[in-house]
Amino acid sequence: MRGHEKGLTLIEIVIAMTIGAMVVAIMVPATQMMMRLGPRMDNELAVMHDLDFARRWITRDGQAFQSFAPLPSPGYGRFVWTDYIGDSPVKFEVTYLFDVGNTSLIREERRDGVVKSTLRIARNIQTEKDVKFEVPDGVVRVKITSTAGNVSRRVDIIVARR
Q: Give me the pLDDT at residue 81, please.
A: 94
Note the pLDDT tens digit of each residue in 131-158. 999 988 878 899 999 999 888 999 999 9
The three state secondary structure string of the chain is CCCCCCCCCHHHHHHHHHHHHHHHHHHHHHHHHHHHHHHHHHHHHHHHHHHHHHHHHHHHHHHHCCEEEECCCCEEEEEEEEEEECCEEEEEEEEEEEECCCCEEEEEEEECCEEEEEEEEECCCCCHHHEEEECCCCEEEEEEEEEECCEEEEEEEEEECC
> Does position 123 have pLDDT exceeding 80, yes or no?
yes
Note the pLDDT tens digit of each residue in 41-78. 889 999 999 999 999 999 999 999 998 999 999 999 99
Q: Give me the pLDDT at residue 154, please.
A: 94
The rounded distance, in Å, linking the Cα atoms of 36 and 42 is 11
- Band the pLDDT of 2: cuts 50, 70, 90: low
- Band the pLDDT of 162: cuts 50, 70, 90: low
